[in-house]
Amino acid sequence: MFVIIMIPFPFFYSETYIPSFGGVPLFLYGWFIHTAITFALIIKYYRMCMKRKEYHTYDEEEK
């Protein structure tokens, strides 16, 4: 997960204006997609961690 997030993709440092839909620079769509993937991986990691018992040691008991 860390490697995918930290790869220096070319859409982070585009020096030329390449228009896309509606005149929006193409690199912005790359940012949006990369951000969505990053958030999805963070949520997946959170759910995996919350299944483990040691993350629930301080939870209140059900009454």
31 domain residue, yes or no:
yes
pLDDT digits (tens, 9 = 90+) for 10-61: 666 677 888 888 888 888 888 888 889 889 989 999 999 888 888 777 777 7
Domain membership of residue 59 (yes or no) is: no
What's the number of domains the chain is made of? Answer: 1
CA–CA separation, 30 vs 22, rounded Å?
Answer: 15
Domain-embedded: residue 5:
no
pTM across the whole model: 0.64
